[in-house]
Amino acid sequence: MNFSTISVIGLGYIGLPTAAAFASRQKQVIGVDINAHAVDTINRGEIHIVEPELDLVVKQAVQEGYLRASEVPVEADAYLIAVPTPFQDAHAPDMRFVRAATESIAPVLKKGALVILESTSPVGSTEQMAQWLAALRPDLTFPQQAGDKADVNIAYCPERVLPGQVMVELIKNDRVIGGMTPTCSTRASALYNIFLEGECVVTNARTAEMCKLTENSFRDVNIAFANELSLICAEQDINVWELIRLANRHPRVNILQPGPGVGGHCIAVDPWFIVSQNPQQARLIRTAREVNDYKPHWVIERVKATLADCLVESGRKASELTIACFGLAFKPNIDDLRESPAMEITRLIAEWHSGTTLVVEPNIHQLPASLAHCQLTETQDALKHADILVMLVDHAPFCAIAPEAIKQRWVVDTKGVWR
């Protein structure tokens, strides 16, 4: 069956670019979201998230009539589910959004449809999704009972785009295709080949689920190694960034960079899905998460120690001193504050510090409510008024600050760009 109508469930950072990519290839796409604001914004040809180049593709697709958004699922030849998969208490995956999205399409599901789960999910989720659908549609057959002859095909196809480069990576990256049967994989590959320039790499659903979790755990473990080195180097009075530069001159060593901790809603979350399912085996992955989650608290201790030194040297009271935090986003040159260690550090500083806490974040116009006690300000203003400078995110404008402006100042530099 051809894919004349494609429906993407969940129109966020992943679903909307995916919907727009199909629509830009002249496919009829109906995006579905429970967020009325997102639906209205998209139907005006605008976007509600920040991602380079996405605005133009969405505008054109809506204007030309290939993309429309709806709050209600409709009949389609293929469905892609891209709803959130956060974790709950004790770091267990929260699959309630996936279940709600799956059950919402059950009434409109027709024979011959293809359903793809894109949300990052624990191993076994695709089989679970098929069971949820089967329970609501006893009139249709699904891969677990009917194998390759099923009325409905189901696959897990994870997304691996890098925020900030989504419109390029969506098309160029290779795509892992985890069909529940060979026919499911063949059909899923045909669907992605509508816009994909990368290769479709076929496997089964369980391996594809684990592959996504593995990619992000690999990165988390490697960042944890760099963060652990930064703690060791601080004890040993060694510049960790110089150390890593030197070690990386070895032809088989490639250490990542330490920082204030690991943020974003992927690398700080997904490894827990492996740990939660395999608590006995996933010891290294768990430890890496703990090392990275500890880093913001270590930074706070450094800020406290620096403030203590500053008090002794200046003879002033803590309430008279100003601390400036440079950066809030979870990584450089974006506006995304989700799971950001810089946010956590700034909030803890503002809670504990009796003087003024300034924040410089060039990518936002207003501070989030949790930082109501801080003042959002410009780089030059912070450099002029702050007694202690805390570098949290290596945004390009911060890296460009002249060394003279930092010299002879009290500095805690978590990114190694000033010292």
Residue 151 interacting entry, from ligand NAD, ligand UD9, none, C-beta within 5 to 8 Å by type: none
Task: Output b/e per residue, 155-185; b: 16+ Cβ within 10 A.
Answer: bbbbbbbebbebbebbbebebbbbbbbebbb
272: left (phi over 0), alpha (psi -120 to 50) or beta: alpha
Site for ligand NAD in 261-290 (CB under 6 A): 266
Residue with Cβ nearer ligand NAD (73 or 261): 73
Please report whether residue 326 would count as binding ligand UD9 according to CB under 6 A: no
Q: Is 13 a known ligand-binding residue?
A: yes
Residue with Cβ nearer ligand UD9 (256 or 411): 256
Annotated catalytic residue, options 200, 266, 325, 374: 266
Closest by CA to 124, choosing from 239, 276, 1, 241, is 276
First to last CA, the chain: 60
Q: Which of 83, 154, 324, 328 is close enough to bind ligand NAD by CB under 6 A?
A: 83
What H or E segment, with its residue span, contains residue 45? Answer: none
Q: Is 91 a known ligand-binding residue?
A: no
Please report whether residue 262 would count as binding ligand UD9 according to CB under 6 A: yes
Handedness of CA 287, 292, 294, 295 (dihedral sign): positive
Please report whether residue 263 would count as binding ligand UD9 according to CB under 6 A: yes
Closest by CA to 37, choosing from 15, 69, 75, is 69
Q: Which of 160, 206, 302, 338 is close enough to bind ligand UD9 by CB under 6 A?
A: 160
Q: Which of 6, 7, 8, 9 is close enough to bind ligand NAD by CB under 6 A?
A: 9
**Is there a contact between 129 and 154 (Cβ–Cβ < 8 Å)?**
yes
Closest by CA to 259, choosing from 284, 224, 232, 310, is 224
- Respond yes or no: is residue 266 known to be catalytic: yes
3-state helix, strand, coil in the chain (%, to 5): 45, 15, 40
Q: How far is the CB of 369 from ligand NAD (least distance, A)?
A: 19
Please report whether residue 256 would count as binding ligand UD9 according to CB under 6 A: yes
- Respond yes or no: is residue 184 known to be catalytic: no
Task: Output b/e per residue, 246-278; b: 16+ Cβ within 10 A.
Answer: eeeeeeeeebbebbbbbbbbbbbbbbbbbbbbe
Please report whether residue 175 would count as binding ligand UD9 according to CB under 6 A: no
Q: How far is the CB of 211 from ligand NAD (least distance, A)?
A: 12
Q: Is 331 a known ligand-binding residue?
A: yes
Q: How far is residue 283 from each of residues 225, 270, 272, 274, measured CA to CA in Å?
A: 14, 15, 11, 10
Judged by CB under 6 A, the number of residues near ligand NAD is 27
Residue 33 interacting entry, from ligand NAD, ligand UD9, none, C-beta within 5 to 8 Å by type: ligand NAD
Residues lying near ligand UD9 in the complex (CB under 6 A): 120, 160-163, 215-216, 219, 223, 256-257, 259, 262-264, 266-267, 330-331
Catalytic residues: 212, 266
Question: Which residue numbers belong to the known binding site for NAD(+)?
Answer: 13-14, 33, 85, 126, 338
Binding site for ligand NAD (CB under 6 A): 9-15, 32-35, 38, 82-85, 97, 100-101, 104, 118-120, 159, 161, 163, 266
